[in-house]
Structure 1
Amino acid sequence: MPHDIDPFTANFARSRPLVGVTILLAEDSRYCSEAVRLMALRSGARLRRVDSVKSACKHLKLYKPDIVIVDLGLPDGSGIDLIRDVAGRKIPNQITIALSGDDSAHVQEAVKKAGAQGFLGKPIQNLSKFQDQIVAILKASGMERVSGTKVSDRGDEDVADLDRQALFDDLDRIRKLLETALPENDRHKLRYCAQFVDSVGQTARDVELTRQARVFFSRIESGAQSDKSGRQMLELLRRKLSESTPLIRNREHVA
């Protein structure tokens, strides 16, 4: 059985709106990827995931997915540059969608200029909203391969409770990177760490993680001393990782 076909999905494929649609997801967070993977598979789509710009470009030389979903905060380059590269390939009927926790007007304008046909904001809260957005983007782009009954016609399905091991691995990876970047004052790595924690925090609906990441990011962007806020975020990550009780507490929607 191919690795990208989920047995759960196969039983329901005939009633899913994205049956036959293939997706390449460029997302470095395992936890955020799990959210998109589950929603894609439960919608009938087949999904492959890469975690960097380099891997995405290598994959696209051989794989021609219907949809390329690109997170804007990839570790080895700009997601906007990747979108521009995908658009420049001019693959017939291929749709590119940006994915980001920053849904500000200037970001959406930038991804549109780069060639993206749509935008998904993080966190994607439930399956019905995911389907509504993807189907709308496909139809607006003239892609008529969508079919079936949307979950939104039958009620919402929350996908917040995902793979907690993936969440642990994400936080542990960024902790290690932050421990190296802080002493070196590597602002590029520090900026990436702040964006990554913000994104994961939004998907996990962890207010504490998201707020601290945004404080840290604003200090970096303003050019102010960020070592204190960086150390605070590092200590927060260590605490989350060391807790024997559930990692994520105080869950609520993060605007």
Structure 2
Amino acid sequence: MDDTDLFAATPRLTAARPLLGLTILVVEDSRYASEAVRLLCLKSGARIRRADSLRTARRHLSVYRPNALLIDMGLPDGSGAGLIAEAAAAQPRIPVILGMSGDVAREGEALGAGADAFLAKPIASLAQFQAAVLEHLPERARISCPEMPAAELRPDPALYRDDLAHAAGMIGGELGDASLDYLVQFLSGLARSAGDAPLSAATDALAEAHRKGRAPRTHLAQVAGLVQERLARAC
């Protein structure tokens, strides 16, 4: 069934559920951020599939072609830019390819790799999410979306704790340059998605020190302390 058949088979489209019948593959390593997107998809009527790494995403894409592909720019096994480039070059092309990151500086990287648009995390509103997808689907582009802050679709806080526990495990292990880079981008996106300003600021300071080649021990210890504080608070 091609895309035209799919649109014809979904006559119950409304402004409240403009993505009804679409399948969206979200490539995101954070459980908290993935749940935030799942809630947006659920509210919009779309089906969601999730991959937490480039490897898993490629396995999904070898089996089916989603209508939209949302790719986090920093993944445990590499940059999302490579997957964006592969998806953009594939024939037939996935109709909508969006890059995502808590670091807005990565927008150019995502667009340069072939993404149709970029979403900064946390996604500001349901309407912004829907519009980013609908803009590249001509058959649905005229559907207007109601405004609703994404904050009203808050993921379960337990998922935030799960992600923090994952970060704590990384901090407690061997951190080379590559693994420290990954830790920084993971925690930075997570803290922004959860609205955790102190952790976000501490992670930014760690990233800046690492970028400038300074010994990151002090900043890493501060980040580790904040992570442990939040995990202890949840007990």
Could you state the TM-score of these two structures normalised by the residue count of structure 1?
Answer: 0.81
1:113 aligns with 2:121: no
User: For 1:38-53, what aligned pairs fall within 5 Å after superposition?
Assistant: 38-53=39-54
1:40–1:46 Cα contact (<8 Å) kept:
yes
SS across alignment from 1:223? coil
Taking the aligned partners of 1:93 and 1:186, their CA distance within structure 2 comes to 36
Taking the aligned partners of 2:219 and 2:43, their CA distance within structure 1 comes to 39
Q: Aligned to 1:192, which of 160, 179, 182?
A: 182
User: For 1:13-24, what aligned pairs fall within 5 Å after superposition?
Assistant: 14=14, 15-24=16-25
Taking the aligned partners of 1:243 and 1:124, their CA distance within structure 2 comes to 26
Taking the aligned partners of 1:210 and 1:160, their CA distance within structure 2 comes to 21
Taking the aligned partners of 1:98 and 1:33, their CA distance within structure 2 comes to 14
Deviates more, 1:90-99 or 1:185-194: 90-99
1:226 corresponding residue in structure 2 = 216
1:19–1:146 Cα contact (<8 Å) kept:
no
Taking the aligned partners of 1:228 and 1:171, their CA distance within structure 2 comes to 19
> CA separation of 1:42/1:233 partners in 2, compared to 1, >3 Å: closer, same or farther?
same
1:36 corresponding residue in structure 2 = 37
Deviations 1:157-192 (A, max 9, x none): 6336321111110000110111103xxx41111111
1:126 aligns with 2:121: no
2:39–2:153 Cα contact (<8 Å) kept:
no
SS across alignment from 1:151? coil
2:57 corresponding residue in structure 1 = 56
Deviations 1:133-154 (A, max 9, x none): 3323x25xxx3245755222xx
1:17–1:147 Cα contact (<8 Å) kept:
no
2:68–2:133 Cα contact (<8 Å) kept:
no
Root-mean-square deviation (Å)? 2.0
1:126–1:158 Cα contact (<8 Å) kept:
yes
Instruction: Note the C-alpha offset of 1:13.
Output: 6.2
> CA separation of 1:244/1:167 partners in 2, compared to 1, >3 Å: closer, same or farther?
closer
> CA separation of 1:134/1:95 partners in 2, compared to 1, >3 Å: closer, same or farther?
closer
User: For 1:212-223, what aligned pairs fall within 5 Å after superposition?
Assistant: 212-223=202-213
SS across alignment from 2:152? coil
> CA separation of 1:51/1:159 partners in 2, compared to 1, >3 Å: closer, same or farther?
farther
Instruction: Note the C-alpha offset of 1:91.
Output: 2.3
SS across alignment from 2:19? coil
> CA separation of 1:29/1:13 partners in 2, compared to 1, >3 Å: closer, same or farther?
farther
Gaps of 5+ in 1: 1-11, 246-255
Taking the aligned partners of 2:98 and 2:150, their CA distance within structure 1 comes to 22
SS across alignment from 1:165? helix
Count of residue correspondences: 223
Could you state the TM-score of these two structures normalised by the residue count of structure 2?
Answer: 0.87
Percent of residue pairs bearing the same amino acid type: 33
1:122–1:199 Cα contact (<8 Å) kept:
yes
1:249 corresponding residue in structure 2 = none
> CA separation of 1:21/1:169 partners in 2, compared to 1, >3 Å: closer, same or farther?
same
Q: Aligned to 2:226, which of 236, 244, 247?
A: 236
